[in-house]
Structure 1
């Protein structure tokens, strides 16, 4: 099969769409629908540079974070479950993680969609560990959060001098990033979508750098992330992220910090 032949391109789009969404793709009725088949599915989702699990996490987060059409998010959730790329428990964790980096409204949208699709598929509830089941020592919790921050971000964090900074140390890193139901690499992709959508320079630069400096994401995979992210965010936002990725690839290779 060669994408130089329009018929082959369309056939690949149909085949990939079925694998991604778990449903047969209807013939396109508009140029917009044709672009989903022939570009989004045939060319982007079919690319070999990033594993399917990662693409699902980026697409799920992107669709929820940008408030795309509900049918798109539903299709991704269904496809992730049907293909085995993500379990129901992992999708529940993904919703929690997106809530932190994209806001609880967007995380709630993903969580509600997961609930809807799981019910349609007749899946039993997924077991999930409580956020914090037992009493804890506040000093120990803070120290654990500081250690996790340094591991995830690859540099030490500052003192929790405000309620917001305290929440970052105690909840975001002291509890959420430590949860075992979703691996660190998976959490990276969700985080990257959230910070990129924020348009906040410091989180964008520091998290893109940390994703590669930690070894979770290879430089070539980060280039694929920009393309997959651009599907839901749009090319203008993705172009900004592309520039940061180029810069941080150079800095990681040279052993420099994100802000050095």
Structure 2
């Protein structure tokens, strides 16, 4: 018997995990693009397999799949947090994702201006440089 008394067994949990993984992979591909996800999967080994499973099921299958916020809003939040925490590689990836989710350059700039006020000018300065590089690459492609 589970904590909630439902009697859920391991098989049902496994089915739920599989569904969450499949949903997460679909959302992950839609937001990040097939090329990015394929590269991440190709680099997966025994060291990173559990982590890849975790982020696919929980970040993408649970959080990004929730109905409470649309993907544009989730992108805005993600950009602000990543810029604030100086997670530069993830920020670059999510600038691309934000564009895929419908944000334009002006909206991305607005997010980073907000970061400047609430997280500091150095954080925003670094984030603007990353966004500028990614958006320039997008134009040149």
Q: TM-score, normalised by structure 1?
A: 0.42
Provide the rounded CA distance (Å) in 1 between the counterparts of 2:34 and 2:94. 10
**113 and 42 in structure 1: CA distance in 2 versus 1, 3 angstrom threshold:** same
**61 and 90 in structure 1: CA distance in 2 versus 1, 3 angstrom threshold:** same
2:18 is aligned with 1:7: yes
2:77 is aligned with 1:66: no
2:40 is aligned with 1:22: no
List alignment gaps of at least 5 residues for structure 2.
1-13
Contact 1:60 1:77 in 2 (8 A): yes
5 Å-filtered alignment, 1:1-260, equals: 4-24=15-35, 25=37, 26-27=40-41, 28-29=44-45, 30=48, 31-68=50-87, 70-84=88-102, 86-122=103-139
Contact 2:72 2:101 in 1 (8 A): no
Task: Please list the CA deviations of residues 71-121 of structure 1 after superposition, one character each: whole Å capped at 9, or x if unmatched.
Answer: 21111110111231x111111121112111110111112211211111111
List alignment gaps of at least 5 residues for structure 1.
124-260
Number of aligned positions between the proteins: 119
Structure with the greater alpha carbon radius of gyration: 1
**119 and 83 in structure 1: CA distance in 2 versus 1, 3 angstrom threshold:** same
Q: TM-score, normalised by structure 2?
A: 0.74
More helix by share: 2
CA RMSD of aligned residues (A): 1.9
